[in-house]
Structure 1
Amino acid sequence: MAPSRKLKGKAKMGEGTSNSTNDSESVAPQPTMMQRRLQFPFRNRALTSVKYGNLATFPATSFNFNPLLRYQGISNFIGTSTFVYPNLAKDFYAKLSLFRDCTLSSHVKKNDIVLSLEDFGKCLGVPSKGARIRHSVVCDDEGFENYEKFAYYFSISRISEQELASRNASSERVHLYSATLSVSDRMLHYLIAYILLPKHSNHSQISDVDMQLIFAIKNRIKVNWAHVIMHYMRHQRNLRGSLPYGHIISLILDYCNVPLNREPYVEMTERACEISVKAANKKMGIFKDKDGLYKHIEQPIPPPNVAPTPIPTPVPEGGFSNEFLYNHMRGMEERINLNINTRFDNLRTEFLTALANQNQDESEEEMDEDQA
């Protein structure tokens, strides 16, 4: 989607905006001391990298999510490319509030921003009706009656639960990653992690919300995307990481008639921001085969981390006699003593070598001092 000309400011990022003008209305008002204190923590936080998806580049022969995203009504949202106003986006988060009735409010450049859930969805061009999915809550809407995160993950994963357990035998926590999904499902999660619910790190890790969204999309369950995005904004605001949806906030500011002239902005370029089929490359373990299909580069599965089974001592003819047990224990003692002596001999050699080198260095320093 081409950037709206109405959104475009008159000063690029890094250019000064202090040129004198006779029009007093074009001069941005200076914030008060109280406003500066409220905005300071957010002005120091970075914005999450903004991305947009070029869905037309993903061939239907390998990727089946295009009709699913159209059914959800979010294809245009994924392709949104506009300008980002970093300072205004951070000010928006500094005053952001979300009420129980899903009314969003903020305050930017002396303009009050108040949007109901329906207005918020209309502004972004996403549905405001459907299943309400958010963090720390498993959706109980129609269609989620039999949903269970791990069971669904293994139903679409390329590895079994036993294989995952063997790979994480040394860890108590189990993290789910998109690398084990099919090529199409992996790129669907890629769009979720970079555009729909943009993260600042761990993009390949599948969160609870990610899994619920994948479940809803693949099973054609309508999602209330306005609710999802609104609650994700508040969730990320309360954390200490980067702030998402920089380009979406530009749409909100324009929708609420916040003046954007003379504000520094950053343009979303194709090179830096576009997600296309080129993202499915060897870095992700994906390649385009001779038949034109995108496939995983199959790698051998590492053996499970299981300790080797000890080989029992063979039983001699006639059973274990006292003499046999004595000789066996005596041999064990000799081997242990030999290993201990060898280890201490090596340590002694290393110590003497280090001591000799130290004495040599001290002697050379004394000679240098005498010559000086």
Structure 2
Amino acid sequence: MSISDTGVIRSEVKGVKIRLNPNLFQQLTNLPSNGVRYEGKLLDEWKEQYDSVTARQLVCRDDAVIQSRILAGQMKVQSRILHYVLTRVLIPRATNIGQASEEDIMLLWAFFNAIPINWGHLIRYKMKRALRENAKLPYPHLITIFMEHFEVPTDTDPISEVKLKSKIGCEVVASFGYVQNAEGEWVPKGNAPHPPLQEGQQEQGEEDQHGRSSTTLNNVINRIEELHTFVGTRFDAFETRFDALETRFGNMDIVINTRFDALQSHVGNIEQQLQHLQSASENNPQT
């Protein structure tokens, strides 16, 4: 497989030659092809607008330390949702998905400033970077679409079923430590009980389990604004555990210092008694 500088994808699979130019790529994926051609670095047209500190303040909570690495748990709700979609769907990666890279922050900044991104170009760029030996090619759903278009035989290949819409469901959000309150809003666990699922929600869940997806990445992009009630990463739970551990060590330090002070006082009393005995012995020598 090869991808030219003009964005033409060429490959041969099971004897079937594949040639995919940007126009055909856009037709098959229905991904936006207008907008800036972002490739992970600060663009010249952004240099007068983009500031790393301002961008970090835009995506992070007010109490976050923005000078160091940005964890997903430090982000505002909308930023966390967008970052979740970015790292798992749009520009997927295998590691550090709970930490925002500078590339992630730039894309979040572009989202919030309504700057259009040429997603077709960015995804082809990510595919090209994955062409090194033994690397896993991302976007298996798109590759399946391409192979079906060029009628590559896949009857004997293993199949991984894609669930309906591949959406971020209740179980995923609940695993982050959130529950739904009576108004249907997701809140940190402990603030509100989880209401029972309504009949319509149960039917939706059954459809999700049995339905198959024809959703492309464009559907995910279009649904980003609808995901405001979803939140996410497990880093809040980790932060809580670290805080509890730090408090525990602090309490242990207080107990140790108290016991040491008591022991030191006891030793001081013994020394005084020994001095008193020595003085009495010198004043009354035995004959």
The TM-score by the shorter chain falls in which range? Answer: 0.5 to 0.7
- Given candidates 284, 288, 310, the residue that maps to 2:176 is 284
Alignment correspondent of 1:155: 58
- Judging changes above 3 Å, is the alpha-carbon distance between structure 1 residues 291 and 204 closer, same or farther for their aligned structure 2 residues? same
Alignment correspondent of 1:228: 122
CA RMSD of aligned residues (A): 3.3
Contact 1:133 1:209 in 2 (8 A): no
1:293-304 to 2 correspondence within 5 Å?
A: 293-296=185-188
Distance of 2:162 and 2:141 partners within structure 1? 8
Secondary structure at 1:203 match in 2: coil
| Cα deviation code 1:100-122 (max 9, x no counterpart) | 11222111111221222222122
Distance of 1:159 and 1:238 partners within structure 2? 41
Could you tell me how far 1:178 is from its partner in structure 2?
Answer: 1.8
| Cα deviation code 1:13-38 (max 9, x no counterpart) | xxxxxxxxxxxxxxxxxxxxxxxxxx
Counterpart code for 1:288? Q
Alignment correspondent of 2:84: 190
Secondary structure at 1:228 match in 2: helix
Could you tell me how far 1:179 is from its partner in structure 2?
Answer: 1.4
- Given candidates 43, 59, 65, the residue that maps to 1:139 is 43
| TM-score, with structure 1 as normaliser | 0.47
Could you tell me how far 1:124 is from its partner in structure 2?
Answer: 0.9
- Judging changes above 3 Å, is the alpha-carbon distance between structure 1 residues 180 and 285 closer, same or farther for their aligned structure 2 residues? farther
Counterpart code for 1:157? C
Contact 2:179 2:186 in 1 (8 A): yes
Secondary structure at 2:11 match in 1: strand
- Judging changes above 3 Å, is the alpha-carbon distance between structure 1 residues 150 and 277 closer, same or farther for their aligned structure 2 residues? farther
| Cα deviation code 1:81-109 (max 9, x no counterpart) | xxxxxxxxxxxxxxx21211122211111
- Given candidates 240, 243, 254, the residue that maps to 2:137 is 243
Counterpart code for 1:293? E
Counterpart code for 1:294? W
Could you tell me how far 1:152 is from its partner in structure 2?
Answer: 0.4
Counterpart code for 2:49? N
Alignment correspondent of 2:113: 219
User: How many percent of aligned residue pairs carry the same amino acid?
Assistant: 24
Distance of 2:91 and 2:66 partners within structure 1? 26
Contact 1:127 1:224 in 2 (8 A): yes
Specify which structure has the bigger relative contact order, considering alpha-carbon pairs within 8 angstroms and separated by 6 or more residues. 1
Contact 1:97 1:104 in 2 (8 A): yes
Distance of 2:98 and 2:133 partners within structure 1? 20
Alignment correspondent of 2:195: none
1:81-160 to 2 correspondence within 5 Å?
A: 96-135=1-40, 137-141=41-45, 145-160=48-63
Contact 2:9 2:21 in 1 (8 A): yes
Counterpart code for 1:100? D
Distance of 1:232 and 1:200 partners within structure 2? 13
Could you tell me how far 1:149 is from its partner in structure 2?
Answer: 3.1
List alignment gaps of at least 5 residues for structure 1: 1-95, 166-173, 306-334, 339-372
List alignment gaps of at least 5 residues for structure 2: 190-235, 247-263, 268-287
| TM-score, with structure 2 as normaliser | 0.59
- Judging changes above 3 Å, is the alpha-carbon distance between structure 1 residues 158 and 126 closer, same or farther for their aligned structure 2 residues? same
- Judging changes above 3 Å, is the alpha-carbon distance between structure 1 residues 213 and 239 closer, same or farther for their aligned structure 2 residues? farther
Distance of 1:245 and 1:129 partners within structure 2? 20
- Judging changes above 3 Å, is the alpha-carbon distance between structure 1 residues 160 and 151 closer, same or farther for their aligned structure 2 residues? farther
Distance of 1:256 and 1:120 partners within structure 2? 12
Is 1:267–2:148 an aligned residue pair? no
| Cα deviation code 1:122-167 (max 9, x no counterpart) | 21110112111123x21234x6631133430122211456x355xx
- Judging changes above 3 Å, is the alpha-carbon distance between structure 1 residues 227 and 221 closer, same or farther for their aligned structure 2 residues? same
Secondary structure at 1:284 match in 2: coil
Could you tell me how far 1:247 is from its partner in structure 2?
Answer: 1.6
- Judging changes above 3 Å, is the alpha-carbon distance between structure 1 residues 222 and 239 closer, same or farther for their aligned structure 2 residues? farther
